[in-house]
Amino acid sequence: MTRKLAITGASGQVGRLVVPRLSGSGIELVLLGRDPSRIRTIFPEHAAFGYDYMRAAFTGCDAILHLAVTNNDRSASLEKMRIVNVDFLLKVATAARDSGIRKFINATTLHALDARRTDPYSQTKREGESALAAMSGMDVVQLRLPSVYGDRFGGRLGALNRLPLFARRLAARIVGAFFPVVHADRVAAAVSGILNGDLAGDVICTDPPEENAIYRFARRCLDLAFVFAVIFFLGWLMVIVWIAVRLTSPGPGLFAQSRVGRGETVFTCYKFRTMAEDAPQAGTHEVAPGHITPLGRFLRKTKIDELPQVWNVARGEMNLVGPRPCLPSQTELIDRRRKLGVFECTPGVTGLAQVGGIDMSEPEKLARVDAEYCRLRTIVLDIKLLFATIFH
């Protein structure tokens, strides 16, 4: 069955990359822009309309992909950005709804996820998302994109186009290790997935960090640096803590517990024992305060109880940064993480959820934040989370 998709901003940077990749996927495309003659020149095989003829263009369409935007690499004022990123967005959405379109794919930015970003671009994109959420009568999907590239780069990465093709591909890997990026092929695949109903809600589309060898190498170096630093500088402390745990309460100095790791593989996670020996095997949020020893309270507060996980990091069962591994008995969290692809990511000693104060008592929210981290993780983000953990 052929689906019909309208695309606004088709002659823009992302449109020029994505339209050719959607053309051969069994989707009939209707393209819109400020200059339809330019669109016809670029894509002569597709119908093209100006924005004055939106209702005619939307007739018979199953969905709309809204790419028209005032980009963050332009020095437009807040008011000018609001005209395009909010007012025009609502105009397009209203015309789409009135034309009978029931699925609206809004190409938005990762920047809008960070409420601390108050630049005009991030602010107006958040305003646009909120305005869309208040509309009824349409299924709205927020497609969150970082910098999009193909054989060439655009926007702030345009300087890389001076490099030869093989060097541009390497440059994409290097940039992707430090900041989220996405190839246009993945954007087109995400749009197709949304049209098929496989993806919905808030969709973060990035190149998978696990496929980036530079990121994997840098992360492993960071993990091993942590291992050697703990052993060299804090080895003496670990010995003292182990002795103190043994002397202050009956039981072993270390606490070994089964946890669910990458690919849902169960491994043994190590911590200093902070609970009485007869305490139940349960998540931290489920343990009664009476089961925690006086020394254990101090160890938990200072995070010293986590130091033995250096062994798990050395073995590659955990990273320094990643989603906290859960217990095999936490079936609700496991199910939600499985659906969101969190188990594609190696668990960590600390992570985005921990810095945000989200624990396993909120499985739905925790899984959502874990999935967000798994798609956004970069060297820069991991270092930021480490500093946030240290000074939290």
Q: What are the pLDDT tens digits along the chain (392 aa)?
A: 678 999 999 999 899 999 999 987 789 999 999 999 999 999 999 999 999 999 999 999 999 999 987 665 556 788 889 998 999 999 999 999 999 999 999 999 998 888 888 888 899 999 999 999 999 889 999 999 999 998 877 777 777 888 887 788 888 889 999 999 999 999 999 999 999 999 888 999 999 999 999 999 999 999 999 999 999 999 999 999 999 999 999 999 999 999 999 999 999 999 999 988 766 665 565 666 677 899 999 999 888 999 999 999 999 999 999 999 999 999 999 999 999 999 999 999 999 999 988 988 899 999 999 999 999 999 999 999 999 988 86
Task: Centre a 10 Å sphere on the Cβ of residue 12 and count the other Cβ atoms it contains.
Answer: 19
Which position has the token pair 């369409």?
61
- 3-state DSSP assignment of residue 325: coil
Residue from 172, 181, 171, 103 nearest 142 by CA: 103
Task: Give strand pairing partners of 42.
Answer: none
Spatial distance between the Cα atoms of 185 and 181, rounded to a whole number of angstroms:
12
3-class state of residue 109 by DSSP: strand
The answer to whether 169 touches 133, Cβ cutoff 8 Å, is: no
Query: Using CA atoms, how far apart are residues 306 and 300, in angstroms rounded to an integer?
Result: 8
Phi, psi angle pair for 274, to nearest 5°: -115, -5
Sequence-ordered list of residues with C-beta below 8 angstroms from that of 130, at least 6 positions apart, any chain:
none
Per the structure block, which two tokens stand in for 322?
Answer: 């990643």
